[in-house]
Amino acid sequence: MRVYQDECNHERGDTVLRQIAEGVLIHQSEFMQTNAVVVQDRAGVLVIDAGVRGDEMACLANDLSESGQTVAAGFSTHPHWDHLLWHASLGAPPRYGTARCAATVRERLSDAGARARVAGLIPPDIVEQVPLDLLGLIAGLPAEAARIPWDGPEVRIIEHQAHAPGHAALVIEERGVLVAGDMLSDILIPFLDLSGAADPIEDHLAALRLLEDAADGVNVVVPGHGSICGPDQIHARIERDRAYLHGLRDSGVPGDPRIGPSATFGRDWLPGVHERQLQHVSGRSETPG
């Protein structure tokens, strides 16, 4: 991995953006391997889940402006803080989320104490570097909106009820890319939406079926956290998430490599997430069937 201090030395000609398909670039933050996605068009770019640290987002903005590209629109895949950030240097284009995503942001972030509360969710070692002033300033698209309103290549919205209210995956068919939001990660187990869904496991399984259909013909999947994958691995990722969910539901012992002894990421906290999900699910399993 690159060293932070050297990451964004534009005088040296560094760029943070990496091309993953024609006209689609990503920047991966060292924080949770969070992926920001840039979709290029002649008229400007769409920035999906802009990033986490202020300096990284500024760097991304710098990369864009040095190549003469302006940001035409932004999109947040879901209403969690690490997907709702923005940096002033990216400009002030319209920023969107699904209707349900935006409604959730309004509900959770409109009171005076919201920013302090969010700061409390951010790991202390990076909280100072996460700019919260433009957090969550998104407009909700009309419910059931099928695509992001912008002039670039069509970006289809695949909304589903998993991980967070109004979670959206995006398909850029023309470029063969599926942006999965916080689904289909190689490093994170499925994080259920435990904010009140009656059957979060079934919701998540249904979402995987939607994504499986959406992934048809796709060449690259970009998860919100972790590494991208090609068509040869898409099915395996979906199956691994399914196996985790089935395990969670049936036996409580999923045997998932991402929380097993060979896990390379989050060894000190990811098993705890699994434990909490297990408790939540088993608390609900008193109802027969």
Both tokens of 216, joined, read 């048809």
Report how far residue 212's alpha carbon sits from residue 188's, in angstroms, rounded to the nearest whole number: 18
Q: Which is nearer to Zn ion, 56 or 72 (CB)?
A: 56
Binding to Zn ion by residue 193, rule CB under 5 A? no
Q: Between helices 200-214 and 270-284, what is the axis angle to 10°?
A: 120
Nearer to Zn ion, 40 or 98 (CB): 98
Residue closer to Zn ion, measured from CB, 72 or 228: 228
Q: Is 82 among the residues that bind Zn ion (CB under 5 A)? A: yes
Q: Which residue from 63, 182, 186, 256 is in contact with Zn ion, where contact means CB under 5 A?
A: 182
Asked if 224 touches Zn ion (CB under 5 A), the answer is yes
Question: Per the structure block, which two tokens stand in for 118?
Answer: 């969010």
Q: How far apart are CA 84 and CA 92, in angstroms?
A: 14
Q: Which stretch binds Zn ion (CB under 5 A): 55-63, 100-108, 126-134, 178-186?
A: 178-186
- Spatial separation of the C-alpha atoms in residues 217 and 284, rounded to whole Å: 38
CB closer to Zn ion, 72 vs 75: 75
Task: Give the binding range for Zn ion (CB under 5 A) out of 14-22, 50-58, 63-71, 216-224.
Answer: 216-224
Q: Answer yes or no: are the C-beta atoms of 96 and 140 closer than 8 Å.
A: yes
First and final CA of the chain: distance in angstroms?
47
Q: Which among 190-198, 211-219, 223-231, 234-242 is the span making contact with Zn ion, rule CB under 5 A?
A: 223-231
Which residues would be at the binding site for Zn ion (CB under 5 A)?
Answer: 82, 182, 224
